[in-house]
Structure 1
């Protein structure tokens, strides 16, 4: 009896990898174009040219420009959150060298989550497009600043329960901490200047010192004031 010829197995693995590479290429190219032109100014043709794919390929993957924009924001937020939780793992868990440890944490958070390429990209898009297209930033609203503040509030709560800080409202303290470490950097980043290590260290330490004057233990506050007076 003749054996039946088995049909050739489809090379699905190669096809899936190719599709994945195309998706990544499209999202990265779209991020560049959206950041440069904004949502309204970006065109599918321009994104296709940047990604080196056809216009139809983009529509096959994302159907329309709005769907692609949301995918870009989700991808950037996913990367930003992975980086954020890596940084949060370095948050100090005792009051030993608290000023130095919080300063190092603030420097790392600012450098890797706020002033890096993804952080700048999201801020620029929200500032330029958020008011006109608020529904496009639902992912950012749910998983962006609010998530960071919630995580920080929990970490400050842990320090307070250990007696290292005196805080009544942890959510407020977290928002104030983020505002303080951003205060000196907003004008610099607004004009696209690159922050030096000295600027980052100086602004972060000033922010932490202000925060600890408000929420540090009384003994810590007194020692800080004495040190500041000695340096006058």
Structure 2
């Protein structure tokens, strides 16, 4: 208990100091990011330029015009596209000209393509129910399979387990369009996973915000699709 209390106090003191430092404290903006544990083997096989970019972007050490001015390498901190102050955040997510030119949309769609491809592959690896044994939940009753108790010998390992007619559509030109029940609305979730046999729809929405706006972007997207989810 004493060790834990000391550790908590030291962590709190460290964070308070880091927040006051404009560059060394940049990592505090990542509080809402999902934590990923990297192994030395993964780091070893990363391209050196990628590791360098990731580390320097976390601490705002990339050669943006604002940083070049601060380092005495340049006199003008403005963005050549929109004439705003060119910081790392500005380049990656805040330039209105880059937004109008579709640069951020291009980045978003490249990530979306990867997600859609992985989900499309996963739908072919689902487990179908087997009516030989009962599965129980922590709620005290038989596991509800799409609203009814079922017998199965296979534990549910994946959200897609349970049927083999999942259809994946994505809000991308080269992918199939969303089902009619979604097309009737004005909203276009990034990915729709739907099953005719079980009458299920799963919406996947991707956001690529700057690190200090993760929570804001998450709240915005949840509210945007709240009514569609209820309907």
**Structure with bigger RCO (C-alpha 8 Å, 6+ apart):** 1
TM (norm. structure 1) is 0.25
Choose between structure 1 and 2: higher helix proportion. 1
Choose between structure 1 and 2: higher strand proportion. 2
TM (norm. structure 2) is 0.26
